[in-house]
Structure 1
Amino acid sequence: MKLLVPFAVLALLQLSAATRVSMTVEVPQQLGRALLSEKDHKYAVDDKVPLWASKVGPFTNPSETYEYYSLPYCQPKEGVKHKLLGMGEVVDANRMASTPYQLQFRKPRTRELVCEQPLDQEKLAKFRKAVEEDWYFQMYYDDLPVWGFIGKMEKLFKPGGVTEFKYYLFTHIDFDIKYNEDRVIEINVSTDPAEAVDISENVTAVTAKFTYSVKWTPTTTKFDQRLQRYERFPLNPVHLEIHWFSIINSCVTVLLLTGFLATILMRVLKADFVKYSKDDPAMDEEESGWKYVHGDVFRFPPYKNLFCAFVGTGTQLFYLALFIFVLALVGVFYPYNRGSLYTALIVLYSLTACIAGFVASSYYRQMEGELWVRNILMTCFVFCGPFLIMFAFLNTVAIVYRSTAALPFGTIVIILLLWSLVTIPLTVFGGIAGKNNRAEFFAPCRTNKYPREIPQLPWYRTTVPQMIMAGFLPFSAIYVELYYIFASVWGHKVYIIWSILAIVYIILIVVTAFITIALTYFQLAVEDHQWWWRSFLCGGSTGIFVYGYCFYYYYARSDMSGFMQTTFFFGYMAMVCFGFFLMLGTVGWRASLMFVRHIYRAIKCE
Structure 2
Amino acid sequence: MSDSPITLLVVGVLIACCLTHVRSDSSDHRFKVGDPVPLYANKVGPFHNPSETYRYFDLPFCSPDAIIKEKREALGEVLNGDRLVSAPYKLNFRDEKDSALACRKKLSEQDVAQFRSAVEKDFYFQMYYDDLPIWGFIGKVDKEGKTHPSEYKYFLYKHIQFDILYNKDRVIEISARMDPHSLVDLTEDKEVDVEFMYSVKWKETDTPFEKRMEKYSLSSSLPHHLEIHWFSIINSCVTVLLLTGFLATILMRVLKNDFVKYAQDEEAADDQEETGWKYIHGDVFRFPKYKSLFAAALGSGSQLFTLTVFIFMLALVGVFYPYNRGALFTALVVIYALTSGIAGYTAASFYCQLEGTNWVRNLLLTGCLFCGPLFLTFCFLNTVAIAYNATAALPFGTIVVIVLIWTLVTSPLLVLGGIAGKNSKAEFQAPCRTTKYPREIPPLPWYRSAIPQMAMAGFLPFSAIYIELYYIFASVWGHRIYTIYSILFIVFIILLIVTAFITVALTYFQLAAEDHEWWWRYVNSLVYFDFFFPFHLFNNHNVKF
Which residues in structure 2 correspond to 1:121-520 (within 5 Å)? 121-157=109-145, 164-200=151-187, 202-234=188-220, 236-244=222-230, 246-267=231-252, 268-277=254-263, 278-281=265-268, 284-520=271-507
Deviation string for 1:404-452 (max 9, x for gaps)? 1101000000000101111111111111111111111121101111111
Cα distance in 2 for residues equivalent to 1:132 and 1:181 = 42
Cα distance in 2 for residues equivalent to 1:390 and 1:166 = 41
Q: Name the residue aligned to 1:27.
A: none
Question: Post-superposition shift, 1:281?
Answer: 3.5
Q: Name the residue aligned to 1:66.
A: 54
Cα distance in 2 for residues equivalent to 1:158 and 1:152 = 15
Deviation string for 1:145-172 (max 9, x for gaps)? 110011111225459x785111110111
Question: Post-superposition shift, 1:40?
Answer: 1.7
Equivalent in 523, 540, 543 of residue 554 of structure 1 = 540
Cα distance in 1 for residues equivalent to 2:344 and 2:297 = 11
Question: Post-superposition shift, 1:38?
Answer: 11
Cα distance in 2 for residues equivalent to 1:336 and 1:396 = 27
Contact 1:41/1:183 (<8 A) preserved: yes
Equivalent in 17, 22, 39 of residue 51 of structure 1 = 39
Question: Post-superposition shift, 1:489?
Answer: 1.0
Cα distance in 2 for residues equivalent to 1:38 and 1:345 = 23
| Aligned partner of residue 440 in structure 1, secondary structure | coil
Question: Post-superposition shift, 1:557?
Answer: 2.8
TM-score in terms of structure 2 length: 0.93
Cα distance in 1 for residues equivalent to 2:3 and 2:305 = 22
Cα distance in 1 for residues equivalent to 2:385 and 2:36 = 35
Contact 2:98/2:198 (<8 A) preserved: yes
Question: Post-superposition shift, 1:102?
Answer: 1.2
Cα distance in 2 for residues equivalent to 1:281 and 1:9 = 59
Distance 1:446 1:38, change over 3 A: closer
Given residue 218 of structure 2, which amino acid in structure 1 is its aligned partner? R
Distance 1:45 1:513, change over 3 A: same
Cα distance in 2 for residues equivalent to 1:259 and 1:229 = 41
Determine what percentage of the aligned residue pairs are the same residue: 56
Q: Name the residue aligned to 2:99.
A: 111
Question: Post-superposition shift, 1:209?
Answer: 1.5
Question: Post-superposition shift, 1:304?
Answer: 0.3
Contact 1:297/1:529 (<8 A) preserved: yes
Cα distance in 1 for residues equivalent to 2:250 and 2:531 = 25
- Worse-superposed segment, 446-455 or 268-277: 268-277
Q: Name the residue aligned to 2:523.
A: 536
Given residue 490 of structure 1, which amino acid in structure 2 is its aligned partner? W
| Aligned partner of residue 451 in structure 2, secondary structure | helix
Cα distance in 1 for residues equivalent to 2:102 and 2:244 = 67
Unmatched runs of 5 consecutive residues or more in structure 1: 14-35, 560-606
Given residue 432 of structure 1, which amino acid in structure 2 is its aligned partner? I
Contact 2:236/2:464 (<8 A) preserved: yes
| Aligned partner of residue 194 in structure 1, secondary structure | coil
Question: Post-superposition shift, 1:243?
Answer: 2.9
- Worse-superposed segment, 531-540 or 142-151: 531-540
Question: Post-superposition shift, 1:279?
Answer: 1.6
| Aligned partner of residue 154 in structure 2, secondary structure | strand
Deviation string for 1:470-493 (max 9, x for gaps)? 110000011000110001111111
Deviation string for 1:261-281 (max 9, x for gaps)? 123222222122223333244
Given residue 90 of structure 1, which amino acid in structure 2 is its aligned partner? V
Cα distance in 2 for residues equivalent to 1:6 and 1:500 = 28
Cα distance in 2 for residues equivalent to 1:279 and 1:470 = 36
The number of equivalent residue pairs is: 533
Given residue 68 of structure 1, which amino acid in structure 2 is its aligned partner? Y
Question: Post-superposition shift, 1:180?
Answer: 0.5
State the superposition RMSD in angstroms: 2.4
Distance 1:162 1:327, change over 3 A: closer
Cα distance in 2 for residues equivalent to 1:169 and 1:519 = 61
| Aligned partner of residue 40 in structure 1, secondary structure | coil
Question: Post-superposition shift, 1:252?
Answer: 3.2
Contact 1:76/1:98 (<8 A) preserved: no
Unmatched runs of 5 consecutive residues or more in structure 2: 15-23
Distance 1:533 1:236, change over 3 A: same
Cα distance in 1 for residues equivalent to 2:43 and 2:445 = 57
Cα distance in 1 for residues equivalent to 2:341 and 2:420 = 9
Contact 1:8/1:422 (<8 A) preserved: no
